[in-house]
Amino acid sequence: MLDVCSCAQTSNGVKIFIDSADIEEIKKYLDAGLCDGVTTNPTTFFKLGIRGEDIKKKALEIARLINPRPLSVEVTSENPKEIYRQAKEFSTWALNIAVKVTITDSRGNSLLSVINRLIREGIMVNVTAVMTFNQSILAAKAIHEGAKSSDAKKPHFVSIFLGRIAEEYGIETSFNVVKNFRGWLDLYKFDDVEILAASIRTPENIEYWGRAGAHVMTIPPEAISKSLLSARTKETVAQFIKDAKE
């Protein structure tokens, strides 16, 4: 197992996780001070042609690069026994691996029992595919109870898919899910749970959901790159350079 330190839970302001398995993109944002962690899923690996045993190799490469920041790696089963087996295996790869587990299976059956068990056994978990306030608080309760029974003090995450909520119910609903959930966590002092704003697609998403109260935003590189662009900034810089030469 990769020898790394435990992931710190404290942070000044909102954290940014890079939603990518592309090493060069991750390096770029590490160098810029914009990478507090990385999230992956089967789709991000598939887009880069990474399959099978190559996923482990790539995960180890990313984990070393971003140590001690967390790297989320998703299980590829919805069977609780297989989820548990995969999660235990993934957690041996590096100490900064957070195992992504969906809150339910594709039939709507809860996976909170296996999530709670993993946390009790000291594994960092990212509960993903969360769409509602009710799902959020139930996931937080499962995490909190598991963390109380574990000696491993690690952050755990609830990933709310804001882009998908906005598509179905509107952007105000997506904003309120995060805002209300953050208020609930603060009220009951669930300090072992961090809200992860996921399914961010545009600079407008970053601006809007960055004010909603999430602890973390997981952002694809293309959305970060677009957020840095402004025609007026480019014009101003060009003017500065022109004037300096003259």
- Quick check: 181 and 159 in contact, CB under 8 A? no
Q: Counting runs of H as helices and runs of E as strands, what totals does the chain give?
A: 11, 8
Contacts of 226 (CB under 8 A, 6+ apart): 202, 203
pLDDT at 2: 45
104, with CB counted inside 10 A (0-12, 13-18, 19+), is middle
Query: What domains does the chain contain, in order, with CATH numbers?
Result: 15-245 (3.20.20.70)
Catalytically annotated residue among 88, 100, 153, 245: 100
pLDDT at 6: 40
pLDDT at 119: 97
Tens of pLDDT, residue by residue, the chain (246 residues): 544 434 444 446 899 999 999 999 999 999 999 999 999 999 999 999 999 889 999 999 999 999 999 999 999 999 999 999 999 999 999 999 999 999 999 999 999 999 999 999 999 999 999 999 999 999 999 999 999 988 888 899 999 999 999 999 999 999 999 999 999 999 999 999 999 999 999 999 999 998 999 999 999 999 999 999 999 998 999 999 998 998
Is position 226 annotated as part of the catalytic site? no
Q: List own/partner pairs for 79-85 with CB under 8 A and 24 or more apart.
A: 79/105, 80/111, 80/113, 80/114, 83/111, 83/114, 84/114, 84/117, 84/118
pLDDT at 12: 61
CA distance 142 to 116: 5
